[in-house]
Amino acid sequence: MMGPAHSLSGAAAWLGAGAVADALGHRMPWPVLLVGTLICAGAALAPDLDQKSATISRAFGPLSKALCGVIDKLSETVFNATRGRGERRRSGGHRTLTHTWIWAVLIGTGFSALAVLGDRWAVLVILFIHAVLAVEGLLWRMARVSSDILVWLLGAVSAWLLADLLDRSGNGANWLFTGPGQEYMWLGLPVVLGAMVHNLGDALTISGCPVLWPIRIAGRRWYPLGTPRFMRFRAGSWVEVKVLMPLFMVLGGIGGVSALGVI
């Protein structure tokens, strides 16, 4: 799928998680719902770090372009080193390492550890990165015609305001983990969820997605999981734009009002 659909699916996923949390009697404070939705929408772009032409490659200028090149090469190397007998060598690592459950968990764990060890400045960095990615994904067309600096300023201001909001008593910094220094450990959860939603979205397209690597399926470690062939579509096709994106909006809206206890 394309960037806007990925970000919309990420936002809808966290709003849905909020509805589930409410049903289980552990309602998210509204700032947690807001911040988690923003992070999840941004994190849903991150697996495409292995593709130099992806939306995420332009999010942070030369830095993100260089990072995409490094991740692409790393993913290619890992694929060729772990491929099964029936899998051909690849030049390019798109839809390999960063599109697996292991990568999603590692990245989410890394951000949780950063939030715990780095305290407020780490939280600000996490919020800034994902706010910028969310703008690039959800406001794709407007972000394309605007200055990168304006998007970064919006991300920085949003990060500062949201961090202040969460710090206020009762607003949810310790919504899930209450131990000393663990207040922001939950920030890794929307990162994991966003990455996994991205992978599941790509599994709906023609190429499928090797979500379960390195589990061997049909003799292949990089087996591209997906729906039945007749149900798959090309990224950016009318199915994605006219069916899935409106569906994500509706599901996100329902999840949001349910998470807030409105229905």
**What are the pLDDT digits (tens) for 9-53?**
999 999 999 999 999 988 899 999 999 999 999 999 999 999 887
Which pLDDT does position 233 carry in this prediction?
86
How many domains, the chain?
1
**What are the pLDDT digits (tens) for 191-208?**
999 999 999 999 999 989
Q: Is 138 exposed, middle or buried (CB count within 10 Å of its CB: 0-12, 13-18, 19+)?
A: buried
Give the integer Cα–Cα distance in Å for 56 and 51. 9
Beta-carbon contacts of 9 under 8 Å, excluding residues fewer than 6 positions away, are 1, 44, 197, 198, 201, 244, 248
Which pLDDT does position 192 carry in this prediction?
97
DSSP state of 243: I
Give the integer Cα–Cα distance in Å for 31 and 17. 14
Give the integer Cα–Cα distance in Å for 187 and 183. 9
To the nearest 10°, the Cα dihedral for 168, 170, 174, 178?
120
Which pLDDT does position 198 carry in this prediction?
96
Give the integer Cα–Cα distance in Å for 101 and 151. 30
Contact 260, 30 (CB under 8 A): yes
Element (H, E) at 190: helix 188-203
Q: Please provide residue 170's backbone torsions phi and psi, each rounded to the nearest 5 degrees.
A: 85, 0
**What are the pLDDT digits (tens) for 229-248?**
888 888 778 888 889 999 99
**What are the pLDDT digits (tens) for 67-107?**
999 999 999 999 999 988 888 888 888 899 999 999 999 99
Give the integer Cα–Cα distance in Å for 256 and 250. 10
Which pLDDT does position 1 carry in this prediction?
76
DSSP helix, strand, coil percent of the chain (3-state; round to 5): 65, 0, 30
Domain that holds residue 156: 2-260
Strand, coil or helix: what is 225? strand
Identify each DSSP E strand in 111-204 by its residue range: none
**What are the pLDDT digits (tens) for 168-178?**
877 777 888 87
What is the DSSP annotation of 145-159? HS-HHHHHHHHHHHH
Residues 218-226: what's their mean pLDDT?
90
**At 101, which amino acid appears?**
W
Give the integer Cα–Cα distance in Å for 3 and 134. 10
The pTM for the full model equals: 0.92
Selected residue with higher pLDDT from 71 and 148: 71
For residue 59, pLDDT beyond 90: no
